[in-house]
Amino acid sequence: MNRDAKENTNEKNIDNKDVIGIRKMLLKDLPQVCEIERQTFSVPWSESAFEESLKLPHAIFLVAYLGEQILGYCGLYQVFNEGDITNIAVSPDYRGMGIAGKLLETVFAYSAERGIEAFTLEVRESNAPAIHLYSKYGFEQAGLRKNFYEKPKEHAVIMWKRGL
C-alpha cells in the first residue's frame, strides 16, 4: 500500500462485537470510506479511485459496518491465482477490536472461492500494528522496496502469505 498511516489511539466500546458485519463495498459507502482514508493516510486514495476499483471484476473490496456506519474496509486485486491487498484501514475510534482481522478472514474466504492461493502486500517498515496484524494472519516478510513511500519517505516491507 503506497500510503502513510497516521497514528490514533482512540477507542470506543461496542458491547457485542458480533453485531459488526462484513459485506462487499457499495458506491453508497464511499463518502464514509474516504473519510477514514483521509483520516488515516498521508496520500489517500480518491473517491474515484475506489469507484473504479468497485467496477473491476478482479477486485474484492469489503467493508466492516455497524448499522449504517462504516467502521473499516479492505481491498484486493486478483492477478491469476494471487491476491494483492491494496487497502486495509479501520476507523481510528474502532481499532484494536478485531475488525481488521474479521476483514482479512472474509477477504480470504472470498479469495478461496476465486482460486486465489497466495497474497502479497507492502507495508511501511515502521507500521508495527499492521505488520503484527499481517504476521498473525500468516504473512511473512519477503523483502524490502527501498524508498517506496513518500510523505515521509520510507522503505516498504513486502509480505507474502502462501496458502489459506
Residues forming the site for ligand COA (CB under 6 A): 1, 5, 40, 88-90, 95-101, 123, 127-130, 132-133, 136
Say which of 37, 65, 94, 122 is annotated catalytic.
122
Neighbours of 52 (CB within 10 A): 12
- By C-beta, is 18 or 57 nearer to ligand COA? 18
Nine cell digits for residue 78: 486478483
**What is the smallest separation between the CB atom of 157 and ligand COA, expressed in angstroms?**
9
* 134 catalytic per annotation: yes
Say which of 52, 134, 137, 149 is annotated catalytic.
134
DSSP code per residue over 89-143: EE-GGGTTSSHHHHHHHHHHHHHHHTT--EEEEEEETT-HHHHHHHHHTT-EEEE
**What is the smallest separation between the CB atom of 109 and ligand COA, expressed in angstroms?**
16
Give every CB contact of residue 133 below 8 A, 6+ residues apart in sequence: 100, 101, 104
- By C-beta, is 40 or 106 nearer to ligand COA? 40
**What is the smallest separation between the CB atom of 54 and ligand COA, expressed in angstroms?**
19
* 122 catalytic per annotation: yes
Q: 474515484: which residue's cell?
A: 48
Residues designated catalytic: 122, 134
